[in-house]
Structure 1
Amino acid sequence: MVAASAVVIGAGVSGLTTAVCLAEAGLDVRVDTDRLPGATTSAAAGAMWVPYLVGPRDLVDRWSRRTLAELTALSADADTGVRLTEGTHESRVPREMPAWGTVVGALPCPPEDLRDGYVTGWRYRAPLVDMPRYLDHLRRRLERAGGTVRQCRYDTLGEALRQAPVIVNCTGAEARFLAGDPAVDAVRGRLVVVENPGIDTFFCDDTPGAEELTCICPHADAVALGGTAEPGHWDLRPDEDAAREIVRRCTAVEPRLAGARVIGQRVGLRPVRTGVRLTHERHGDRLLVHNYGHGGAGVTLSWGCAREVVDRVRAAVGAT
């Protein structure tokens, strides 16, 4: 086992990004995880920059702006899996543009540009992330900074606190059990990945109160089609009926998807909470930092939250 001055629990996008930031700040970092990056909820994401199922608004605004800048910079390197992509959010009922629209310079869609059945919308350009490639990039970046990844499972935070002077809890929905936090719940999300028939712009149905999610996230050779938002469901097994319904909804919006070959299904658990928990506490000579509860915005908040973790660790260690 590699000794570490900081251990991050969890290898999703929040855990890996936090580990990268700590390692690049000069700490000896190890990521301990029961699921390797490719098996995490993050690997199942679409994924694009957009604040979704997360609060509080003031902190989300700060963290998401910082992450937007980081992801935009990363988009200059194709190997990261991040690219700036144009697309639309559209609504079937009249509504105001969400507050985050101003952050990405979103503009109203002319009526003739709206999809059938939609009455308002806005177009913008933002990072779209091929998550399997991006998680590989983060792991490589961590290893270049001297960090390591170890597969293991903790049943209690007390076990983890014996591992290093600094522990960072990035366990997502599992924080409900590991941290004993009943405010955390899982909102299951399903995606279907199909071959890309030539789509290069994203689409999201942003109708308030819509019972179903419809989103289309194109990547180089594939398109991620979503999706579902099922509170309280923890079962990660694929569902063929749900997959067919997702494809049907997305094809109704984008007819070019008709007949696209299905590559696979992705299922993940969004860690929804009343608000992101980014706090720290002392346990004797050990520092425990919590960084979880990012809802459907793990990618969107990842760098902003990770940088704040580094700031908290520096301040706390410097005070000892």
Structure 2
Amino acid sequence: MVPIPDWAKNLGARPISVIPSEVEGSLTIPAFPSIFSNGYALNVPLIDTTIYLDYLANRFHNASGTIESAHINKVEEIPRDFDVIVNCAGIGARELARDSELEPHRGQVVIVPKLDLAQAIVCDDAPLMYAIPRAHDCVFGGTNSISENRAPSAADTTAIVSECSRILGIEAPPVIVVKVGLRPFRKSGVRLERERLSDGRTLIHNYGHGGAGFTLSWACAEEVWAIVSRTG
């Protein structure tokens, strides 16, 4: 049986078995890929970023926030109008905060037409594979390599579509678009702490979440707010 990691156990993960009686308490999952003999399942929120990011932006605007785009080389360049600065620069914090522990973990995914999937499917065994259903399409993944190359790789696209199709037992679907991003992995873990700038302003670092940015976002935001509330 695939061992269930502690973090998944804490979220109520239960084993899956092709033969339900094989493991006490095992689940029977609809359309569980026949290529797998076992695994584990858990119920967690599934974010459709094509909807969720607009939702967050609208909440921010409705709270009188504004979004501006600019390039800065150091946080001191931010206008003095702002007493508190939160550094959520992702991989950019490597230069902005001079943090050598950050490294870019390149991830490529392929967006394909919507599939009839009852749940997201992830396989951590090499090669990494996941299929995540969304409202209007499906995400096939993926890759995880230390690289700063944001250009899509045709070879990666072929491998991703081939592996996901093999696992799901379907014909290779057409590719809508290919996306590449850099996960801001930090060797010693997330950096979430307060720093006082030389001009007296408060700087709160909140970066280094790797591939778990959405997962950790609300808890980290609450901690940032707690720091602001304590220190001003």
User: TM-score normalised to the size of structure 1?
Assistant: 0.65
Select which of 64, 78, 84 maps to 1:146. Answer: 64
Aligned to 1:102: 9
* DSSP-derived class of the 2:42 partner: strand
Is 1:250 the equivalent of 2:178? Answer: no
Number of the residue aligned with 2:74: 156
1:127-276 alignment, distance < 5 Å: 127-160=45-78, 162-207=80-125, 210=126, 212-231=127-146, 233-256=147-170, 258-273=171-186, 274-276=188-190
Q: Shift of residue 262 of structure 1?
A: 1.2
Per-residue Cα deviation, 1:88-145 (whole angstroms, up to 9, x for no partner): xxxxxx4420112123311110234664453431112211111122111000000111
- The 2-side partners of 1:134 and 1:99 are apart by 28
1:95/1:110 Cα in 2 relative to 1: closer, same or farther (>3 Å)? Answer: closer
Identity %: 37
Query: Please, which runs of 5 or more residues in structure 1 have no aligned partner?
Result: 1-93
Aligned AA (2:108): R
2:218 is aligned, of 295, 300, 303, to 303
Task: Give the 3-state SS of the residue equivalent to 1:127 in structure 2.
Answer: coil
Partner Cα distance (1:175, 1:299) in 2: 18
Quick one: distance in 2 between partners of 1:163 and 1:186?
Answer: 32
Aligned to 2:192: 278
Task: Quote the residue 2:23 is aligned against.
Answer: none
Compared with structure 1, are the counterparts of its residues 110 and 95 closer, same or farther at alpha carbon in structure 2 (3 Å cutoff)?
closer
Q: Distance in 2 between matches of 1:220 and 1:240?
A: 26
Number of corresponding residues: 219
Q: Deviations over 1:243-285 (max 9, x none)?
A: 01100000110023x2422110111100000210000011242
State the shift of 1:227 in Å. Answer: 0.1
Structure of higher RCO (CA pairs closer than 8 Å, 6+ residues apart) = 1
Bigger radius of gyration:
2
Q: Is contact 2:131-2:141 (8 Å) kept?
A: yes
Q: Distance in 2 between matches of 1:134 and 1:159?
A: 30
Tell me: CA distance 1:163–1:154, structure 2 relative to 1, closer, same or farther (3 Å). farther
1:269 partner amino acid: L
Q: Secondary structure at the match of 2:56?
A: helix
**CA RMSD, aligned part only?**
1.6
Instruction: Determine helix, strand or coil for the equivalent of 1:143.
Output: helix
Partner of 2:227: 312
Secondary structure of residue in 1 paired with 2:156:
helix
